Amino acid sequence: MLRYLTKRKILAALFILVICLSVVYGCFSGQKAFSSAPQLLTDPFLQLPTQSSVRVVWFTEFAGSKHNVAYGDNLQQTAVANTTKLSRTREDQESKVGNQKENGQVYKQPVSRDIWRHEAQVVGLTGLKRVSYRVTSVREDGKSISSNTFTLAPTPTPGTPLKILLTSDHQLKPMIAANLQKVVETVGKVDAVWLAGDTVNIADRASEWFDDNGGGAFFPCLQGRAKFETDVNGIKTSFIGGEIIQHAPMFTSIGNHEVMGRFGKGGSLGDEFNDAFPRPVAMKLYGEKSLKNNSYNTDTYEEIFTLPESKEGGESYYAVSFGDVRLVVLYATNMWRTPNMDAEARGKYRERDKDLQNPENWGYGQVIFEPIAKGSQQYNWLEKELNSPEFKQAKYKVVMFHHPPHSLGDNIVPAYTNPVQIIERDANRNVKTVRYKYPKKSDYLIRDVIPLLEAAKVQMVFYGHSHIWNRFLSQSGMHFLETSNVGNTYGAFLSGDKRSVPSGDKKDYAALGDPNGLEPVLPTIAPLPDKDGKPIPYIASNDLTAFSIFDTGKGTVSSYRFNTSQPDSKVVKFDEFQLR
């Protein structure tokens, strides 16, 4: 009997050892990571409302056997979800998830992470009535997991007063959870969210969307499930974000952080993100096959969201009517490169010395991802949209994209144009330097797009990218609003410190102010003072966070700020303007 028990113990120990080795192998060999978890990965959120329906979307780490939405009176009606698996979501050595960073480095390279997306269309909706709903997923083992109960509604009809949250550049920044928590505490439930790009930092890194250990992942912050802790003078404060997108549909635009570069070329997901490659150059080097993997893609972004689509641009640029508003969303963003101009910089203005003889390692400057100049497919679509009955008949006409046409921030320089490459060679035809210029007169947004919007009587252009709050007003009365000050500002360059720009070329590169000639508008209610007590027309802070609300009933856009370094302080409404 003793020998029998000893044998069983040995077999059990061997079984445990095999399991442990399997887990280790999966984490360190590029095999799939993360076993299925017995809970929903996100709460449900709302997408693509129509006059009689809305999509309900949620995520799990298991494929499951059944997923549905119960809705209506007493949740008696059911909508069955379609399930798809995200194709590119991974974790890597820079991820902060699970035991990573807490109990040492778990992942040594990009590792696949299996995540399933469930989407059900709730139909038969009418009028302004909000309907209760709840989602349920059933695991393969029969275990059933349900969300809390939330409310949904179809797209609002014209004349319905709405409150729309304007936000952007979340990117796991330190003030996001506080920002969104204060939205709910200040204005209650909003009717929609407009997000002008940069949802996360690395689009293919799953934890940035769902469960980053830092407490500021994208979905938890927008669903009131975050846990971002701050320490102010030894007192810990936790912000949870806001329960927002469970009840309100979200419309997004593509920013530079939604775009992933060449697939599998680097040792980390960050390397891939920073390796976007111009498609014409990729075509010459690699040919048509796997062109996307050898240039750039927005696959994860487009797989996560269900957005309105245009025939020409799909989900990358589109237009949608929502209540009294016609919202036009453009794909206007480029690959960010450093302004550093030393020999080791693969930057906006030059290539690294060590890469000069190898064009495959060049960065090619600030690559524009989607053409928008006059004559391009996107420009022609925009011109047609601005002449459509849906646009012309809308009470409010708003355009959203990521890159700023007017800003005091850093990222507006250089001009939004394709870089002009200048290659200098020695007598033996070896490359000595590779530089890039960006002629200001060729700025596609200022030269081509903005005149089109002015002529169409667009009332507001909304954007992000520089992580500041500032606004401008054109001579014709069109408002420009950048309201992405939700953490890690890059500064506002109105006086004092100057942008890092090439020396000796003031015509093309403005070190101060808005390079495109508009004066910033001073906040109308409570502007901040500078060190001398004079009011300033911007917020650029790592303590103050700002958000804006478009009230379509009043036709106003109101901006609020909150001091995260004083958690008990009140939210301050500091600016408001009226759309004509």
Walking along the chain (580 residues) 10 residues at a time, the average pLDDT comes out as: 41 41 37 58 98 98 96 97 98 93 84 97 91 97 96 97 98 96 98 98 98 96 95 88 98 98 92 96 91 96 98 98 98 96 93 96 96 98 98 98 97 97 96 96 98 98 97 97 86 92 88 97 97 96 96 98 95 97
pLDDT at 265: 84
pLDDT at 407: 98
pLDDT at 506: 81
Longest CA–CA span in the chain (Å) reads 95
Number of Cβ atoms within 10 Å of the Cβ of 102: 10
Residue 506 near residue 500, CB atoms below 8 Å: no
Residue 534 near residue 524, CB atoms below 8 Å: no
Q: How far, CA to CA in Å, does 290 sit from each of 30, 260, 262, 301, 394?
A: 21, 14, 10, 19, 42
Token duo for residue 225:
């499930």
pLDDT at 569: 95
3-state SS assignment for residue 281: helix
pLDDT at 30: 40
pLDDT at 14: 41
Residue 56 near residue 79, CB atoms below 8 Å: yes
Q: How far, CA to CA in Å, does 30 sit from each of 87, 90, 113?
A: 15, 10, 10
154: preceding bond cis by omega (within 30 degrees) = no
Closest CA to 67 of 90, 36, 44: 44
The number of CA neighbours under 13 Å toward the Cβ of 570 is 3
How confident is the model over 136-184, as pLDDT tens digits?
Answer: 999 999 999 999 999 999 999 999 999 999 999 999 999 999 999 999 9
Q: How far, CA to CA in Å, does 550 sit from each of 50, 164, 165, 554?
A: 21, 5, 7, 9
Sign of CA dihedral 155, 157, 162, 166: positive
Token duo for residue 247:
């009840």
pLDDT at 22: 38
Q: Kindly report the CA angle at 173 between 401 and 197, in degrees rounded to 5?
A: 15
Number of Cβ atoms within 10 Å of the Cβ of 2: 6
How confident is the model over 45-55, as pLDDT tens digits?
Answer: 999 999 999 99
The label of the residue with tokens 């797209």 reads 155
Q: End-to-end alpha-carbon separation of the chain, Å?
A: 90
264: alpha, beta or left? (left if phi > 0; alpha if psi -120 to 50): left
What gap in Å lies between CA 80 and CA 121, rounded to an integer? 8
In the chain, the amino acid numbered 218 is: F
Number of Cβ atoms within 10 Å of the Cβ of 288: 7
Closest CA to 259 of 288, 309, 221, 302: 302
Token duo for residue 266:
């680097």
Starting at the edge strand that comes first in sequence, how are the strands of the sheet with 45-47 ordered? 45-47, 54-60, 116-122, 82-85
Q: Kindly report the CA angle at 439 between 433 and 440, in degrees rounded to 5?
A: 145
The strand pairing partners of 146, in sequence order, are: 136
3-state secondary structure 400-453: ECCCCCCCCCCCCCCCCCCCEEEEEECCCCCEEEEEEECCHHHCHHHHHHHHHH
Listed as own residue / partner, the contacts of 390-394 with beta carbons closer than 8 Å and 24 or more positions apart are 390/319, 390/321, 390/326, 391/319, 391/326, 391/328, 391/456, 394/321, 394/324, 394/325, 394/326
Interstrand relation of 228-232 and 111-112 (parallel, antiparallel or unpaired): unpaired
Q: In terms of residues, how long is the chain?
A: 580
What gap in Å lies between CA 556 and CA 205, rounded to an integer? 37
What gap in Å lies between CA 55 and CA 44, rounded to an integer? 10
The label of the residue with tokens 């640029």 reads 317
The strand pairing partners of 319, in sequence order, are: 328
Residue 109 near residue 55, CB atoms below 8 Å: no
Residue 180 near residue 244, CB atoms below 8 Å: yes
pLDDT at 37: 54
3-state SS assignment for residue 248: coil
The number of CA neighbours under 13 Å toward the Cβ of 321 is 19
Residue 254 near residue 298, CB atoms below 8 Å: yes
